[in-house]
């Protein structure tokens, strides 16, 4: 009987094993996870779960019973310690398992601050796993002072939740502006103002020299010499793909685990999906760090494992929740040379449209779902309105479709 092993029990791994069963695969399926809990949603961890608005069981993607009901073996709480691609075996928890096909869906790991500048002090947190957020819960309390290192979406979302819980928050960003790596200046401006309205101090062009404290963080020295008193710190300075198992298996790496358009690594019996996988897209090789990509790519690979392979073509979209603002992003803005801002119908709503020449690349919509949906459909259909049309308040966007 054929045996498919999926290593990495996150959104991609869970989606893949469920899809395999839904497509009628009757062989053996094993899902291996390093964490001791069944696959769970990550986005609510640092929001509703941390705020106490969502119980642990509601985080689970499916009840634990679901997996046994569908004859999917869960091996949780142990990392894979070895892969032998020639023998087609993995070692987990001291046990050796043989596979016919293997998928690596191990995600990514937040970058940590070096120990030399205080990165290992107690009270210095990253946001990724259930254990990370549980460790942070006692620190995020009314009256505490927090330093957030990094003004990307992770840092800004953490700032919003901390403020909601009464924490005094300072965000530092080394770049010229928050969200510089991922968004246009107009989107940065919108969120800078939003956080200012909620009494968050944002310091741009400001780095961290060191965190200070005896055993536990109590202060921070910034690059401009400023000294801050700090009760805890949250580090949001990006992630690195978890590719060590693929490397152990001899698979090619390239900004993560390199896969072809079908999701196969350089070893045709080993596949990869989610944050850890880099794949060809429009002449480049990219990694997409998003829930939707993890699901879509994993489900396509499940189908590819079982039959005639079909190329995976992503339809990128993302979101971020900060205070009462929902940001929805469609497309990828890489290479844009022009932006157009369109005010929404409600106060505080607007959209930012990214163009390269006359080609629409992406849309950021803040509390403005209709332009988001229209822009998303246009991008997926390969249609582009002109920048002038988008910028004209009299234009009916829906008519442009």
Q: pLDDT, tens digit, for every residue of 50-66? A: 999 999 999 999 999 99
Asked if residue 274 lies in contact with residue 298, where contact means CB atoms within 8 angstroms, the answer is yes
Residues 147, 231, single domain; the answer is yes
Residues 117, 97, single domain; the answer is no
Q: What's the chain's average pLDDT?
A: 96
Confidence label for 397 from pLDDT (cuts 50, 70 and 90) = confident
Distance CA 70, CA 74 (A): 11
Q: What's the pLDDT score for residue 75?
A: 97
Residue 15 — φ and ψ, nearest 5°? -60, -40
| Beta strand 108-110 pairing with 239-241 | antiparallel
Residues 105, 151, single domain; the answer is no
Distance CA 248, CA 56 (A): 34
Residues 285, 213, single domain; the answer is no
Residues 99, 122, single domain; the answer is no
Distance CA 11, CA 128 (A): 13
Task: Please report whether residue 315 resides in a domain.
Answer: no
**DSSP H helices in 60-139:** 64-69, 130-137
**DSSP H helices in 153-268:** 153-164, 185-197, 244-248
Q: What's the pLDDT score for residue 23?
A: 97
Enter the pTM of the model.
0.95
Residues 94, 32, single domain; the answer is yes
In this model, does residue 401 exceed pLDDT 90? no
Q: How far is CA 64 from CA 24, 39, 74, 249, 298, in A?
A: 21, 9, 9, 30, 20
Residues 116, 97, single domain; the answer is no
Number of domains in the chain: 3
Distance CA 328, CA 351 (A): 9
Residues 6+ positions from 265 with CB-CB distance below 8 Å = 104, 246, 249, 251, 252, 257, 258, 259, 271, 272
Task: Please report whether residue 384 resides in a domain.
Answer: yes
Residues 6+ positions from 61 with CB-CB distance below 8 Å = 11, 14, 38, 39, 40, 41
What is the three-class DSSP state of 304?
A: helix
Q: pLDDT, tens digit, for every residue of 311-334? A: 999 999 999 999 999 999 999 999
Residues 6+ positions from 224 with CB-CB distance below 8 Å = 206
Residues 221, 122, single domain; the answer is yes
- Which CATH number does the domain housing residue 255 bear? 3.50.50.60
Inter-residue long-range contacts of 91-99, CB under 8 Å, 24+ positions, other chains counted? 92/32, 97/3, 97/5, 97/30, 98/3, 99/3, 99/4, 99/5, 99/269
Q: pLDDT, tens digit, for every residue of 163-183? A: 999 999 999 999 999 999 999
Nearest to 169 by CA among 231, 122, 260: 231
In this model, does residue 108 exceed pLDDT 90? yes
Range of the domain at 333: 324-400
Residues 271, 220, single domain; the answer is no
Task: Please report whether residue 27 resides in a domain.
Answer: yes
What is the three-class DSSP state of 6?
A: strand
Asked if residue 93 lies in contact with residue 78, where contact means CB atoms within 8 angstroms, the answer is yes
Which region, left, alpha or beta, applies to residue 88 given φ > 0 means left and ψ of -120 to 50 means alpha? left
């Amino acid at each position: 009987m054929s045996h498919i092993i999926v290593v990495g029990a996150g959104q991609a791994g869970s989606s893949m094993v469920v899809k395999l069963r839904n497509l009628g695969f009757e062989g053996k399926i094993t899902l291996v996870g390093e964490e001791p809990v069944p696959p769970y949603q990550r986005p609510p961890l640092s929001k509703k779960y941390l705020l106490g608005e969502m119980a642990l069981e509601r985080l689970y993607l499916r009840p634990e019973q679901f997996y046994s009901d569908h004859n999917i073996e869960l091996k949780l709480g142990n990392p894979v310690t070895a892969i032998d691609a020639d023998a087609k075996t993995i070692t987990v928890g001291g046990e050796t398992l043989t596979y016919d096909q293997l998928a690596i869906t191990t995600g990514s790991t937040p970058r940590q601050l070096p120990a030399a500048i205080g990165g290992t002090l107690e009270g210095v947190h990253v946001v990724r796993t259930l254990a990370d957020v549980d460790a942070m819960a006692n620190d995020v309390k009314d009256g505490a002072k927090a330093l957030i290192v990094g003004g990307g979406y992770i840092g800004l979302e953490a700032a919003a939740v901390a403020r909601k819980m009464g924490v005094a928050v300072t965000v530092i960003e080394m770049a010229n502006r928050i969200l510089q790596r991922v968004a246009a200046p107009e989107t940065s401006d919108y969120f800078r103002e939003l956080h200012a309205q909620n009494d968050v101090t944002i310091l741009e062009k400001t780095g961290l020299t060191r965190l200070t404290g005896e055993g536990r963080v109590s202060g921070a020295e910034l690059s401009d010499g400023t000294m801050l008193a700090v009760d805890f710190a949250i580090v949001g300075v990006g992630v690195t793909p978890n590719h060590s198992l693929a490397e152990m298996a001899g698979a090619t790496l390239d900004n993560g685990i390199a896969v072809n358009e079908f999701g196969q690594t350089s070893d045709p019996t080993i596949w990869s999906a989610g944050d850890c996988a880099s794949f060809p897209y429009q002449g480049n090789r990219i990694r997409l760090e998003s829930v939707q990509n993890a699901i879509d790519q994993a489900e396509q690979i499940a189908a590819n494992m079982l039959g005639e392979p079909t190329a995976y073509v992503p339809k990128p979209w993302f979101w971020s929740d900060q205070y009462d603002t929902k940001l929805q992003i469609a497309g990828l803005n890489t290479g844009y040379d022009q932006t157009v801002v369109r005010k929404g119908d409600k106060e505080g709503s607007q959209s930012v449209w990214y163009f390269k020449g006359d080609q629409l690349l992406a849309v950021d919509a803040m509390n403005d779902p209709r332009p988001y949906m229209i822009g998303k459909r246009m991008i997926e259909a390969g249609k582009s309105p002109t920048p002038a049309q988008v910028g004209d308040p009299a234009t009916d966007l829906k008519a442009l479709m």
